[in-house]
């Protein structure tokens, strides 16, 4: 057995058995995959004259977890921020190509509407300097979704959805800053869930957290998967193997390979992917 094979096996052990089975159960040819939620075709991205994404094409499946992996600066976060047009806060940033949410181009949607449907959780927990309740209620209030008792109910649901309710139910009116880092990140997820998004983008949501908080978040992702499509950027390949149904490998602005997670980790078709997941670089 070569060293490469050994390393590959090692990562494979991280594959979630449930997930692996699920994917394996799908017949190889003509399988009835879930519907395409986000369809990217030849997406290019530029910061001023500098091109950072080249011809990204991918189908992101509905109510599944898709992980984007790759070395730093390869464009995975940029691609994520293209999906909800978060890149527009940066001057001179420009995206080209076709990017469809269901069948509508995201470039045609009004920003508040797009971002209501496509939520985002950031690398660093970013609670607002408000109470826990007001943090979660922020989205519903901005969009005028609920008030009074209905709002309280929605906040509770969202906090339960983010597995945080039991820990904070007696301190809803305390500042969000009183929570630990892991709790703050789950609060960010609850805040995003409160407006019932169809897609949730997660940009390295665990990179600032300890292993226990990370495990909680990963568990949480499986629970949310039933209600929305998840796209997660991660540096941690073991994490991608554990949580994702599909994995995309980015390298220097290109999507080198995109397939179901098992295939990517056990039988990648591209040499670069294999080199990366076996730890030859990155």
Partner 1 sequence: MATSNTGVEVRLPSAPRGRGLRLGGTRGVDLIAKMLTLVAAVSVLLVTVWLVIELWEQSELSRHAFGFRFLLDRAWDPVFGHFGAMPFVYGTLVTSAVAMLIAIPLGVGAAIFLAELAPRGLSDTLTFLIELLAAVPSVVLGLVGIFVVVPWVRTSFGPFLKDIFGFLPLFQGPIYGVGFLTAGLVLAIMVLPFIVSISREVLLSVPNDLREGALALGSTHWESTWKVVVPTAGTGILGSIFLGLARALGETMAVSMVIGGTPQIAASLFAPGYSIASVIADQFAEATGDLFRQSLVELGLVLFGITVLLHAVARLLVNTTARKAKGAA
What residues make contact with partner 1 under the rule CB under 8 A?
84, 86, 89, 111-116, 119-120, 122, 124, 126, 128-130, 138-139, 142-143, 174-178, 188, 191-192, 195
Beta carbon nearer to partner 1, 47 or 215: 47
Residue 180: CB minimum distance to partner 1, A = 12
Four-CA torsion 20, 22, 23, 24, nearest 10 degrees: 80
Beta carbon nearer to partner 1, 186 or 262: 186
Euclidean distance between CA atoms 127 and 125, whole angstroms: 6
Euclidean distance between CA atoms 193 and 112, whole angstroms: 15
Residue 126: CB minimum distance to partner 1, A = 4
Residue where the block lists tokens 């181009």: 105
Beta carbon nearer to partner 1, 130 or 270: 130
Tell me how crowded residue 16 is: count the other CB atoms within 10 A of its CB.
18
- Residue 150's alpha-carbon distances to 137, 147, 156, 215, 241, in angstroms, are 11, 6, 10, 31, 39
Residue 197: CB minimum distance to partner 1, A = 9
Residue 53: CB minimum distance to partner 1, A = 19
Beta carbon nearer to partner 1, 171 or 269: 171
Sequence-ordered alpha helix ranges (H) in 41-147 = 76-83, 111-117, 132-142
Residue 116: CB minimum distance to partner 1, A = 4
Residue 78: CB minimum distance to partner 1, A = 14
Beta carbon nearer to partner 1, 122 or 222: 122
The 10 Å CB-count burial string (b at 16+, else e) for 21-35 is: eebeeeeeeeeeeee
Residue 178: CB minimum distance to partner 1, A = 4
Residue 226: CB minimum distance to partner 1, A = 22
Sequence-ordered alpha helix ranges (H) in the chain = 3-12, 17-25, 76-83, 111-117, 132-142, 148-161, 165-168, 181-193, 211-224, 237-243, 261-266, 271-277
Beta carbon nearer to partner 1, 135 or 273: 135
Four-CA torsion 75, 231, 69, 163, nearest 10 degrees: 130
Beta carbon nearer to partner 1, 143 or 160: 143
Length of the chain equals 282
SS3 state at 267: coil
Beta carbon nearer to partner 1, 4 or 126: 126
């Amino acid at each position: 057995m070569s060293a490469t094979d050994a390393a590959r096996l090692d990562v494979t052990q991280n594959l979630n058995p449930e997930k692996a089975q699920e994917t394996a159960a799908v017949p190889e040819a003509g399988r009835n995959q879930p519907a395409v939620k986000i369809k990217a075709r030849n997406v290019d991205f530029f910061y001023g004259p500098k091109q950072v994404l080249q011809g990204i094409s991918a189908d992101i499946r509905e109510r599944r977890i898709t992980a984007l992996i790759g070395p730093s600066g390869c464009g995975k976060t940029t691609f994520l921020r293209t999906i909800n047009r978060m890149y527009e806060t940066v001057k001179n940033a420009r995206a080209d190509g076709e990017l469809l949410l269901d069948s509508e181009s995201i470039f045609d949607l009004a920003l508040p509407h797009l971002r209501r449907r496509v939520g985002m959780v950031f690398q660093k927990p970013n609670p607002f300097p408000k109470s826990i309740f007001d943090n979660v209620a922020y989205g519903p209030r901005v969009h005028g979704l609920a008030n009074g008792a209905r709002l309280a109910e929605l906040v509770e649901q969202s906090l339960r959805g983010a597995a945080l309710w039991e820990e904070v139910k007696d301190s809803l009116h305390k500042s969000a800053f009183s929570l630990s880092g892991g709790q703050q990140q789950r609060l960010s997820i609850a805040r995003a869930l409160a407006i019932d998004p169809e897609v949730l983008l997660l940009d390295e949501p665990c990179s600032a957290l300890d292993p226990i908080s990370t495990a909680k978040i990963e568990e949480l992702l499986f629970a949310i998967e039933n209600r929305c499509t998840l796209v997660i950027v991660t540096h941690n390949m073991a994490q991608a193997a554990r949580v994702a149904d599909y994995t995309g490998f980015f390298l220097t602005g290109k999507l080198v390979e995109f397939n179901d997670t098992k295939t990517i980790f056990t039988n990648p078709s591209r040499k670069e992917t294999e080199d990366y997941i076996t730890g030859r670089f990155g």
